[in-house]
Amino acid sequence: MTELTTAPLIERAARFANRVAIDAGEGRFRYADLLRDSASAAAVLLDGRASLGGARVAFLIRPSYAWVVAQWAAWRAGGVAVPLCLAHPEPELDYVVEDSGAEILIVEPELRDRLAPIAARRSLQLTSSNALLSATAAAELPAVDTEAGALLIYTSGTTSRPKGVLTTHASVAAQIRSLVAAWEWSSEDRILLVLPLHHVHGVINVLGCSLWSGAACEMLPAFDAKEVWRRFADSDLTLFMAVPTIYSKLIREWEGLPEPHRHELSKACDRFRLMVSGSAALPVSTLERWREISGHLLLERYGMTEIGMALSNPLHGERRPGHVGTPLPGVEIRRLDERGTPATDDSPAELQVRGPSVFREYWQKPEATAAAFRDGWFLTGDVAVVDGGSYRLLGRNSVDIIKTGGFKVSALEIEEKLREHPAIEECAVVGLPDDEWGERVGAAVVLAGGCEIEIDELRTWCKERLATYKAPSRLLTVDELPRNVLGKVTKSDIVRLFAPRERAGD
């Protein structure tokens, strides 16, 4: 047990006191402002207690200065921060509040109606974020145990009910230190946050790294392609991090502008020193088009809620499209085959991770926690090969690895190839249960405007580019692919879309 006067991230803030920490809709705020306001807000949460003692503090606040104050106040009062997803309807918010055992709820006034019924039903304290911001209370704040819980983030729930991932203060600090070292953050950096703040991509990679480094974080309350391009042109930004769908939307926005404006915006990208993509597979076509527009080859990396970031292409050196690089500082990776022996580079095997950045537990799910580890290594469920020293993901064991006719097939590989078809704008590949083959390869596609395609034509095209057993034998045309709030395609929903046709024998 290591005690600090406050959380490691917050402890660093005093050295940057007069620098701008947050530039958001409410104004510009220095690190000194953040320290003062979070201390007063923590005193409000304590309400005379010596410590919250690990009580969960859940908050529904749009990306803003108020969000950061709420997180820091929870930590400084001895609580666990539980950021809620803005896109969740009331039943899903209620699930997280119940599952986390949250004792305090904080809500932005404009969103009060979404949490008030939950608070009333569960007899919970509901505090306005504005009340925290305007607080002038003072209290002696508790010391922080670095091994105590700090952050409870819920998984995307793409394959099962979301689980709460409990990360300690020490693990949060380890995740941040690793990225700060690998991507050479400094106090001169300035990043634009366009990601939701209920997931590690926004909470750790963007906000956490920025505040650890004494940098400035500009915040948008929600993503807007036009506004992002405006900020690119008008701000002195040095870093940008987003998911592939955001880059796709920025590309479409840019392509719809007149040529002189396009040139101006592309020129503005010269000021950036790094642009990063993650949270979902980045299509090579998107990577190449973004490079044509911005001059930047996006840095791809790999991580999970449970481990933070584990692999990254280099800041300096060759970045290989379709690859997620090598282990980050402080992260150990191994791959074992089905016999439990180290896998050869070209043999697909599950990634296993060990290190100080790994989470402590699935909240109140000891069996799931135990099942997620083997000999101290976290089992990611993601399958990869090593290609020239760099890791290449093939997909998730349970979702993206299709077992058909005795072959193991990567859905991600097939998707990447399908995106090269001129009639296909977007696609998702899934395994569909089949008595004869075990699974059949099914492709759900969004067609480019005015295009049509039949399964026989698609199979012929695929067989010229892929092994025969990888060619889809089932095809479904959809207007859009179902996605979660981070832009990840929810493949369980894709399988359900196929179900009526499969039952009909189509």
Question: Residue for token digits 């930004």?
Answer: 237
d(CA 165, CA 154): 6
State residue 160's pLDDT score: 53
Q: Counting runs of H as helices and runs of E as strands, what totals does the chain give?
A: 17, 28
Mean pLDDT rounded to a whole number for the chain? 92
138 and 124 both lie in a single domain = yes
Residue 192 lies in a domain: no
My answer on whether 393 and 406 are in the same domain is: no
Evaluate if residue 104 carries a pLDDT over 60: yes
Q: How many domains does the chain have?
A: 3
Same domain, 368 and 392: yes
Four-CA torsion 477, 291, 193, 246, nearest 10 degrees: -10
3-state secondary structure of 478: coil
Q: 397, 417, 448: which is the final residue of a domain?
A: 397
158-212 per-position pLDDT tens digit: 445 789 999 999 999 999 999 999 999 999 999 999 999 999 999 999 999 999 9
Please identify, among 168, 185, 215, the residue that sits at the C-terminal boundary of a domain.
Answer: 168
Looking at the structure, do residues 52 and 17 belong to the same domain, yes or no?
yes
Same domain flag for 332 and 410: no
Interatomic CA distance for residues 451 and 472, integer angstroms: 19
Residues 110 and 8 in one domain: yes
Residue 383 belongs to domain with CATH number: 2.30.38.10
pLDDT, tens digit, 9 for 90 and up, residues 420-473: 999 999 999 999 988 778 889 999 999 998 899 999 999 999 998 888 889 999
Residue 51 within a domain = yes
Render pLDDT for 239-265 as a digit per residue (tens, 0 to 9): 999 988 899 999 999 999 999 999 999
Domain-located, residue 425: yes
**Which CATH number goes with the domain that contains 22?**
3.40.50.12780
Same domain, 48 and 126: yes
SS3 383: strand
Is 24 part of any domain? yes
Kindly state whether residue 284 falls inside one of the protein's structural domains.
no
Q: Is there a single domain that holds both residue 52 and residue 161?
A: yes
Can you spell out the DSSP letters for 306-362?
Answer: TTEEEEE--SSS---TT--BEEPTT-EEEEE-TTSSBPPTTS-EEEEEESTTS--EE
Sorting pLDDT into bands at 50, 70 and 90, what band is 22? very high
**Does some domain include residue 276?**
no
Residue 252 lies in a domain: no
User: 212 in a domain, yes or no?
Assistant: no
Same domain, 20 and 158: yes
Same domain assignment for residues 73 and 135: yes
pLDDT digits 0-9 by tens, 319-334: 999 899 999 999 999 9
**Residues 23 and 65 placed together within one structural domain of the fold:** yes
Domain encompassing residue 493: 401-503
What percentage of residues in the chain have a pLDDT greater than 90?
78
Is 98:104 a contact under the CB 8 Å cutoff?
Answer: no
Q: Which of 397, 425, 450 is the last residue of a domain?
A: 397
> How sure is the predictor about 506, in pLDDT bands with cuts at 50, 70 and 90?
low
Check whether residue 384 and residue 408 sit in a common domain.
no
